[in-house]
Structure 1
Amino acid sequence: MVSEIVRVGRSQEFIDLAKAHGAKGIQFYGVCCSCLAAMYRYEGVIPLSNAVGAELVLGTGALDLWVADVQDVFPSIMDVARCFKTTVVTTSDSARLPGAEHYAYDHHHSNIEDTEKLARKIVTRAIESFEARRDVPVFIPSYEVTADVGFNAENIAEEFNGFGPLADALKSGQIKGIVNIVGCNNPRVVYERAVVDVADELLKNNILLFTNGCASFPLLKLGFCSKEGAAKAGDSLQKFLGGKLPPVWHMGECVDNTRASVVLGGIAQAAGHDIKDMPYGFASPEWSNEKGLDASLAFRLFGIDSYHCVEPPVQGSTNVENFLKHDTKETLGSVMTVNVDPKALAKQIVADIEEKRRKLGWD
């Protein structure tokens, strides 16, 4: 559906229709993982915020239409949208909002033949909404950033002529370790603070970071994903990056953790060691839902420890909680560490990576 909305909105027919209603054209923006997926696939789709910042984006008054699938359907969306006369459209029958226009799109493909018709209707409603909102005040902060994104196993291997140089940099200590820092944001903690604090501490200790999804937004906004962001890294990591690469490699939306796992596997193979023995870590400091739990378990299955600043939502069973945190050491070779202090959590990650390096004989 996203691809069809973008395609229809970029057609000359709808550009002309938008201009006929007083607009200069049609611009697509996005929130959360849908926008990161669209940014990677369709040039010109601009990401604005992760899921928890959704209302802040609506609060600019700049959006004519908001279309949601299975995410970004928080109850307060409608309250903010009404303040700014923004049209809200939902497409999933299981994720509807009271007062929103609903154009059902079945993920089991029972009405896939209606994809273009629904996309045309959504873009038409956006144009109509634009015309109806001319009296709405708009405030867009005068701040934008550029970032290097799109890292994956293929282009990393091409850049370094294989994974050998990355393995060598790990062995020599030029890169102390690699951590995949991802996950949702959580309204129970200070917005985005834990992600930034953990990233800051790890980079100072020459740990290369991968990122994706909602956790990547503060790193994008604050320059971690740009070449200039290398100044945040320790001396040896800066030398490895060589002024050409950012210290945080952006790999896509939240479901693109697989890209990170392929890269980590390739480096481990080049180093001649199992993934579980490598100086790796998985951090989702602000995770908030079952998807984040699944992602952490996926890396735990590789034997990679996971680190968090929010307790997992499993306190209903002591047995389940103990299994997730500690008891997996015997079966998976990995554990879960939770520390509500992000800087202390980062120091624990560094200590655990240093211990793995000692076991490998690299330090």
Structure 2
Amino acid sequence: MKTEKQTHNNHDSNSTDNIAADKLLRSAAKDVAAHEARMREIILTLKKAAEGDTDLSIVGERKLRSIAAHFDISTKNKETNTIAAELADKLLDDISRTEPGLCSTLSVVAPPERIQTWKQLDLLPVSSSFEVSSALKQTSDESLNDWQKKMNTTFRLGAAFLLNCTAGSSLATDCLCGTAEHTTTKVYLESLHADTVNIALYEHIPTLAAAVCNATQNKRFTAMANEAGATGIQVYEIRSSDKPSTDTIDKVSRLATTNGVGLALETGAIDVLLADTQKVLPKIASVAAFNKTVIVTTNKSSHLAGAEFIGTGNEVQTLAENIVTRAIESFKNRRDVKRTLPGKDVTAQVGFSLDTIDRHYGCLDRIASALIDGKIKGIVSLFGSTPTDADSTQHLAVLINILLENNILIFANGYPAFSLATQGFCSSKAREKCGEMLQLFLNTNMPPVWHFGECTDNAQPLATFREVAKYAGHKMKDLPFAAVIPEWSEAEGLGATLAFRVSGFDTYHCTPPSLQQSKNIQDFLYNGTQDQLGSSMHVAPNPNDLAEMIISDFNNARSELCWR
């Protein structure tokens, strides 16, 4: 029989466990809901393009027809727009499903082994909308004191994040905009200033660009900028060619080509992105939203969600003045946004994806073979949000250098990808930082860090891991694969972290989650899913220690597989 003191201690423990579980569950639900909203807009844009309700055309026809086959959509003798409309409907249905059962999107992107595991563990998501609603209901039910149920629901949200928030948006984006291009880009970040109102002209109409440049020289606007706390107004140019335009070259600073716009936005220094011809890809819009950069367009019929429309009925000069005014307002509203300026120009290879890697190597069997014979000891997927302290960039460099020296290949997304790009890791010249075996695999033309894009979209890295595992003949959870999220996040990034966990990946962090001293929640989060999902969580504040953890775990995985 329990004493009064034991009963009181158990009550306190349960209360602490439920508070910590509620916090994680709400954070995961919020992240999934935010990504679902953006993804829904992308799919709706695909449908509008298919139905002719926008000036946007469907660029990725080849990808569309390939994806349609996986969704059992007949393509024979069908027009592209008809196929696109049918695919959009299926993707939209998967977002809002209310009845359990295997949805089309999940069967396309998740290995059969994972789907079967999720079924057995009751982690198979119905849809992102359904899972978010269910999660919020649990956190609002004061009578529900079952922290284990709440943690299971949290991991279901990880599967939902993979299902709708990354896979669905990635498929729709590839069909609408075409797949990424693997290219080398140079971004002239040295020209960016932290204390000026910064306007980037993205594939702009020359007459409007010239009018914007002239407006920035107007004393009225320079006075407004000074009143807002800026030292002036600067205009930058983003174009499809690395050759600057001739019409505004004396007033505009060169910033990037179109394939480097993500790196430019990741600095947080752009106040307004003027995209007059609307070549803003959904991922770019997400980066802009994260950094509170305002996307402005003058094309009402073709702009993507999130862009602010400034009317077309006005004269060019009036439009230009409205754009400059909006940029000054944005500067004032973005005082809390960190502006990360490396003070140097950056050359990086970008545009890595399952398709571009497959095209480069001819077949992903070459990567699987390199993994088996030891040229690649393992592969790490690196992602996360903006670091919280000044030492984080240096710690990240230390971690990556150790992993590369030990022949570990890096896939990178989001802010860590930006940070490594600015430090030269995404250039083929960084091959010299690698161990001898990894250098042999990379040859002379590939970087050791593969830049998979902005934000925490993990669809492409996970798709690549899935195909490599298929060629290697093993489950992903048994291979030397891992996810590294240096700064634990309970906001942007938690859904992606959970998606890797439910996919069987161990995750590694330099900062631990805040769990209100709940040992049960900590034990579950760290090791509670090892037996069922094949994944666990590891934390080490020191980057050297974290690297050694990863290397040791990769060596153990290789030993279990009888790989050298």
**TM-score, normalised on structure 1?**
0.72
Residues matched between the structures, number? 306
Aligned equivalents of 1:113, 1:351: Cα separation in 2: 44
Q: Do the aligned partners of residues 44 and 263 (structure 1) sit closer, same or farther apart at CA in structure 2, a change above 3 Å counting? A: closer
Question: Is 1:27 aligned with 2:27?
Answer: no
The match for 2:378 is 177
Aligned equivalents of 2:322, 2:200: Cα separation in 1: 14
Q: Do the aligned partners of residues 9 and 300 (structure 1) sit closer, same or farther apart at CA in structure 2, a change above 3 Å counting? A: same
The match for 1:166 is 367
Of 204, 223, 233 in structure 1, the residue corresponding to residue 405 of structure 2 is 204
Cα deviation code 1:13-67 (max 9, x no counterpart) = 31131243367965359xxxxxxxxx999446362474xx64xx4xxxxx66589
Alignment of 1:10-159 (within 5 A): 10-21=204-215, 26-27=236-237, 42-43=258-259, 45=261, 47-48=263-264, 50=266, 54=268, 57=269, 65=272, 70-72=289-291, 115-117=308-310, 124-127=321-324, 143-159=344-360
Question: Could you tell me the percent identity over the aligned residues?
Answer: 32
Alignment of 1:275-354 (within 5 A): 275-315=476-516, 317-354=518-555
Aligned equivalents of 1:159, 1:319: Cα separation in 2: 47
Aligned equivalents of 2:344, 2:466: Cα separation in 1: 38
Question: Is 1:190 aligned with 2:391?
Answer: yes
Q: Do the aligned partners of residues 69 and 246 (structure 1) sit closer, same or farther apart at CA in structure 2, a change above 3 Å counting? A: closer
Aligned equivalents of 1:131, 1:291: Cα separation in 2: 27
Cα deviation code 1:201-231 (max 9, x no counterpart) = 1000000000010111221011100000111
SS for the counterpart of 2:349 is coil
Q: Letter of the 2:451 partner, please give it.
A: H
Structure whose residues are more often helix by fraction: 2
Aligned equivalents of 1:72, 1:308: Cα separation in 2: 23
Extract unaligned runs of 5+ from structure 2: 1-40, 46-55, 57-198, 218-233, 240-254, 275-286, 297-303, 330-340
The match for 2:464 is 263
Q: Do the aligned partners of residues 122 and 45 (structure 1) sit closer, same or farther apart at CA in structure 2, a change above 3 Å counting? A: farther
> How many Å apart are 1:317 and its aligned residue?
3.6
Q: Letter of the 2:501 partner, please give it.
A: R
Aligned equivalents of 2:295, 2:236: Cα separation in 1: 20
> How many Å apart are 1:252 and its aligned residue?
0.4
Q: Letter of the 1:207 partner, please give it.
A: I
Of 210, 222, 231 in structure 1, the residue corresponding to residue 432 of structure 2 is 231
Q: Do the aligned partners of residues 274 and 43 (structure 1) sit closer, same or farther apart at CA in structure 2, a change above 3 Å counting? A: closer
**TM-score, normalised on structure 2?**
0.48
Q: Is the 8 A contact 1:278 1:357 kept in 2?
A: yes
Aligned equivalents of 2:524, 2:479: Cα separation in 1: 23
Aligned equivalents of 1:145, 1:8: Cα separation in 2: 19
Aligned equivalents of 1:90, 1:113: Cα separation in 2: 7
Cα deviation code 1:262-307 (max 9, x no counterpart) = 0001000001111111110110112333332222211111111000
Q: Letter of the 2:465 partner, please give it.
A: L
Q: Do the aligned partners of residues 130 and 310 (structure 1) sit closer, same or farther apart at CA in structure 2, a change above 3 Å counting? A: closer
Q: Letter of the 1:71 partner, please give it.
A: F
SS for the counterpart of 1:178 is strand
Aligned equivalents of 1:236, 1:112: Cα separation in 2: 46
The match for 1:137 is none
Aligned equivalents of 1:46, 1:118: Cα separation in 2: 26
Aligned equivalents of 2:533, 2:388: Cα separation in 1: 31
Q: Is the 8 A contact 1:185 1:287 kept in 2?
A: no
Larger CA Rg, structure 1 vs 2: 2
Aligned equivalents of 1:269, 1:323: Cα separation in 2: 29
Cα deviation code 1:336-363 (max 9, x no counterpart) = 0001111110110000011000111102
Extract unaligned runs of 5+ from structure 1: 30-38, 58-62, 74-87, 92-110, 133-139
Aligned equivalents of 1:354, 1:317: Cα separation in 2: 32
Q: Letter of the 1:324 partner, please give it.
A: L
Aligned equivalents of 1:289, 1:222: Cα separation in 2: 27
Q: Do the aligned partners of residues 332 and 123 (structure 1) sit closer, same or farther apart at CA in structure 2, a change above 3 Å counting? A: farther
CA RMSD for the aligned pairs? 3.9
Aligned equivalents of 1:305, 1:250: Cα separation in 2: 21
Q: Do the aligned partners of residues 173 and 265 (structure 1) sit closer, same or farther apart at CA in structure 2, a change above 3 Å counting? A: same
Question: Is 1:215 aligned with 2:416?
Answer: yes
Q: Do the aligned partners of residues 301 and 117 (structure 1) sit closer, same or farther apart at CA in structure 2, a change above 3 Å counting? A: same
Aligned equivalents of 1:124, 1:290: Cα separation in 2: 36
Aligned equivalents of 1:20, 1:40: Cα separation in 2: 21
Aligned equivalents of 2:425, 2:504: Cα separation in 1: 27
Aligned equivalents of 2:445, 2:452: Cα separation in 1: 17
Q: Letter of the 1:284 partner, please give it.
A: I
Q: Letter of the 2:536 partner, please give it.
A: V
